[in-house]
Copies of this chain bind each other. A is one copy, B any other.
């Protein structure tokens, strides 16, 4: 069943799904259980509580929905908004594009603010819209924290600043799929109303859980939302929360235990240390890209992403060939360029349960592939640049001091 065996580890550097740590694999290696026995509710209770911490929220209500990020998007929208509601939404890459497509198909009135791919959300336009919206026709701002297609991180604190500046009551809905558990994310401080991620991203689990945190304001909004939904309806969850049985339908027993293990690892490392690690990995990757003489798809430093780097290749190279070759020759999985940047960028995902030497192995691989496809890279140059930074910045492993 392993159609494409290759010796050694697969070097998984797509921006999701990401590497699952062994303790999590172990925790999930189990038979099914009756989810109506006392054990699963007891476990669920700890999860719903502890998962708030990855959002840095104490006031939120969390949902663990058996779905993907796409389902989590749908859940966020249909529970808080009603058809026809005006949304301001930022189009800055393939994933914000897909979310906007969903918003439109769900019959919201989407006010799209587009940026060139490689740029962040245009918050000036947001400000201008807020400034004139004294009637509060804008019901929600939808924004991806980190656009996975281009490696762009948006400044959410600024969005909050603008909403506050204009005393605007719009909900703030955030796609944190490729940010939460990896980038600095502050649900309560930034006044995010719904934040969401998927289990296969920085949490380093298999796909299968859409993880959502809703503010009290979002919950309040959900009471009057008229969007049609059943599977994604928070009300069904809340009803079972009140009953203490937690599940309106059957959860994945394995993912619940896996999530418990994943959270335990995150808390053992310390969420701030996890974020610092991603910061090191992102910086090291960018230094390598620079050393190779290549450009980052992300156009300004303020938007640099610490979870994924999209690398622009010279026009005489097809970036898809880099991805193909990585897989066929080096057992390395890189991310393709998508849509507008197809053929133009390849992506290095550096999120989740990953360490520096894994990244350096990947960077060494990318160098060889660049040479394979005819780009005049100096072998070792990216690794040297990344190492120089890392050697000064990697801390001792706390459990081993």
Residues of B within 8 Å of A227, CB to CB, are: 228
Q: A71-B231, A362-B357, A368-B387 are in contact. Are A327 and B37 (CB under 8 A)?
A: yes
A358 to B: closest C-beta gap in Å: 5
Is A294 in the interface zone, CB < 8 Å from B? no
Chain B residues with Cβ below 8 Å from A300 are none
Given known pairs A35-B17, A379-B384, the reply for A106 and B230 (CB within 8 Å) is yes
Q: In residues 361-394 of chain A, which contact B (Cβ within 8 Å)?
A: 361-362, 364-365, 367-368, 371-372, 378-381, 383-385, 387-388, 390-391, 394
| A268 part of interface (Cβ distance < 8 Å) | yes
CA distance A240 to B339 in the complex (A): 14
Which residues of B sit under 8 angstroms from A23, Cβ to Cβ? Answer: 2, 5
Also in contact, A329 and B397, with CB within 8 A (given A364-B364, A371-B391): yes
- Does A196 belong to the interface (CB within 8 Å)? no
A364 contacts across to B, CB distance below 8 A: 357, 360-361, 364, 383, 387
> A1 near B207 (CB under 8 angstroms)?
no
Kindly identify, within residues 232 to 273 of chain A, every residue whose CB is under 8 Å from any CB belonging to chain B: 232-233, 248-255, 257, 260-261, 265, 268-269
A37 partner, pick from B228, B333, B367, beta carbons under 8 A: B333
Question: Contact at A251–B33, with CB atoms within 8 Å?
Answer: no
A401 interface residue per 8 A CB criterion:
yes
Query: Does A3 touch B at the CB level, under 8 Å?
Result: yes
Query: CB-CB < 8 A to A333: which residues of B?
Result: 33-34, 37
Interface residues of A (CB under 8 A from B): 1-12, 14, 16-23, 25-39, 42-43, 66-71, 74, 83, 101-102, 105-107, 198, 200, 206-208, 227-228, 230-233, 248-255, 257, 260-261, 265, 268-269, 274, 277, 327-333, 335-336, 353-362, 364-365, 367-368, 371-372, 378-381, 383-385, 387-388, 390-391, 394-397, 399-401
16 cross-chain CB contacts under 8 A: A1-B260, A3-B39, A4-B397, A5-B23, A12-B32, A12-B33, A14-B34, A17-B253, A20-B31, A32-B200, A32-B206, A70-B249, A74-B230, A206-B253, A328-B401, A357-B362
